[in-house]
Chain A
C-alpha cells in the first residue's frame, strides 16, 4: 500500500504536469489538478487522508534534500549573487516585511484566532523553513503547510498578472518577485520566463527564508504582543 500511493501520486503529478505544459490553464497546475484527482481517488477508495499522508511520506520527505539541493544553483550563480547582492537583500528584506505586516493586518481585520495568525505569518516562505518559523512563534505546522501551499498556488496564478500589470521588464525583478511571493511554486513559474528569472527566483526564495527566520526570532513576537485593535 505504501509504495502504491507514492507511485500513484507520482503518475498523477506527471500527468498534471504534462497537461499544464500543453494547455497552460491554471486549473491544470500540478498543485491544483494532482491534489484534486488524488482527493477524489482516496475518497472513492475509502482511504483516509491521514492514511494517504503516511503512505506518501517519502515524497514529502524529499523536501529536505530538495532544500539542501538549492546549494547547487547558489554555487553555480555565485558571480551573479556577488554582483546583485545589494538589490537582492534590499528587495527581499522589504518583501518579507510586507508579507508579514500585510498578512498580520488582514488577519486582524478578519478576526482570525491567534493559532491561525501564528500559523499564517510565515506563509510566503518555503515549507520546511515555514514550519520551523511556525513552531518558533507558536503556530501549528500542519496549518502552516496548508497556508504555504495555498500561497504557492495563488502566487503561481497571480504572479504573471502582477508582472504584466506593473510592466516589470528586468529578469531580476521578475525572478525576485516570484520567489519572494510564491517560494518554490513561484520559482517553478520563473523557469517559464527563463534561466535568469529562475536563478533570481531561487535566490529570492532562499534569502526570504533566511530573513524570515530572523523576523521569526525578533520581530514577530513583538508584533503578537502589540495590541492592534487601537488601529483597526
Chain B
C-alpha cells in the first residue's frame, strides 16, 4: 500500500515508481509481483482516464461561461481559465488533474493526426499552389521564430546586464 501511496500522492518521477516496483518485487515471488505490477499498470491507466473525464467538467463549465460572456473565445480557453482559477484558489487539488493533464499534453500530437489525414480532402494542397503555400508557411514560420527568439534573447540579455 505504501508503494501505491508513493505513486499517487507524490509528484515523483516515473523512475521512482519503477524503482519502488522493482524493490517491492524482489521481496515477493515472481508470480505475485507480476500480478501487482499488472494491477499498478491498470490503476495508473484508470487514474488517467478518470482525470481526463474530470477535465471535461471544466470544458462544460467553459462552454456554459461562453454562453454568458459573448466574446469570440473558444469554450476550451474558458475551461483553461476556470481550471487555473480552481487550482489557484485551492478549490481542487493538483493531484486530481495532474496525471490526466500530463498525459493529454504528452500525447498532444495524437489528437492532430485525424485532422492531418483530412488533408486528402483538399486537392489544392497537392497542386502547384499547394507547394507555394507550403513555401509561404515555411518562410513565414522561419521569420516568426527568428524574430520571437531574437527579441526574447535580447530582453533576457538586457535584464541580465541590469542585474550585474
Q: Spell out A's residues near B (CB within 8 Å).
A: 9-10, 12-13, 17, 30-31, 34-35, 38-39, 42, 49-50, 52-53, 56-57, 59-60, 62-76, 78, 86-87, 90-92, 94-95, 98-99, 102-103, 106-107, 110, 112, 116, 120, 123-124, 127-129, 131-133, 135-136, 142-143, 145-147, 149-155, 158-159, 162-163, 166, 168-170, 172-174, 176-178, 180-182, 184-185, 187-188, 202, 204, 206, 209-210, 213, 216-217
Residue of A nearest to B114 (CB): A56
Name the B residues within 8 Å of A204 (CB-CB). Answer: 148
Size range of the interface on B? 35 or more
CB distance from A175 to the nearest CB of B (A): 8
Residue of B nearest to A103 (CB): B140
In the bound complex, do residue B153 and residue A170 qualify as a contact, i.e. CB atoms below 8 Å apart? yes
CB distance from A40 to the nearest CB of B (A): 10
Name the B residues within 8 Å of A149 (CB-CB). Answer: 112, 115-116, 119
Cα separation A216 to B138 with both chains bound (whole Å)? 22
List 26 A–B pairs whose Cβ atoms lie within 8 Å, in order of A's numbering.
A13-B110, A30-B109, A38-B117, A39-B120, A56-B114, A57-B114, A63-B112, A65-B100, A68-B59, A69-B55, A71-B58, A71-B80, A87-B155, A87-B159, A91-B151, A91-B152, A99-B140, A102-B140, A143-B122, A146-B125, A150-B137, A151-B141, A153-B116, A176-B148, A202-B105, A209-B77
The answer, yes or no, to whether B69 is at the interface (CB within 8 Å) is no
In the bound complex, do residue B141 and residue A75 qualify as a contact, i.e. CB atoms below 8 Å apart? no
Cα separation A16 to B88 with both chains bound (whole Å)? 37
In the bound complex, do residue A206 and residue B80 qualify as a contact, i.e. CB atoms below 8 Å apart? yes
Cα separation A114 to B22 with both chains bound (whole Å)? 61
CB distance from A200 to the nearest CB of B (A): 8
In the bound complex, do residue A124 and residue B144 qualify as a contact, i.e. CB atoms below 8 Å apart? yes
The answer, yes or no, to whether B156 is at the interface (CB within 8 Å) is yes
Name the B residues within 8 Å of A98 (CB-CB). Answer: 143-144, 147-148
In the bound complex, do residue A13 and residue B76 qualify as a contact, i.e. CB atoms below 8 Å apart? no
In the bound complex, do residue A70 and residue B113 qualify as a contact, i.e. CB atoms below 8 Å apart? no
Known: A146-B125, A172-B152, A178-B145. A188 touches B108 (CB 8 A): yes
Q: Other CB < 8 Å A-B pairs besides A166-B149, A180-B148, 19 of them?
A: A17-B109, A30-B113, A31-B113, A35-B116, A38-B113, A49-B117, A65-B104, A92-B148, A94-B148, A95-B144, A98-B144, A110-B133, A128-B74, A146-B115, A149-B115, A163-B149, A170-B153, A181-B148, A202-B105
Name the A residues within 8 Å of B113 (CB-CB). Answer: 9, 12-13, 30-31, 34-35, 38, 56, 59
B81-138 residues with Cβ-Cβ distance < 8 A to A are: 81, 83-84, 87-88, 94, 97-98, 100-102, 104-105, 107-122, 125, 129, 132-134, 136-138
Residue of B nearest to A162 (CB): B145
- Name A131's contact: one of B52, B56, B74, B94 (CB within 8 Å): B74
In the bound complex, do residue A150 and residue B134 qualify as a contact, i.e. CB atoms below 8 Å apart? yes
Residue of A nearest to B138 (CB): A154
CB distance from A104 to the nearest CB of B (A): 9
- Name B112's contact: one of A133, A142, A152 (CB within 8 Å): A152
Cα separation A188 to B108 with both chains bound (whole Å)? 8
In the bound complex, do residue B139 and residue A42 qualify as a contact, i.e. CB atoms below 8 Å apart? no
Name the B residues within 8 Å of A50 (CB-CB). Answer: 121
Q: Spell out B's residues near A (CB within 8 Å).
A: 52, 55-56, 58-59, 62, 72-77, 79-81, 83-84, 87-88, 94, 97-98, 100-102, 104-105, 107-122, 125, 129, 132-134, 136-153, 155-156, 159
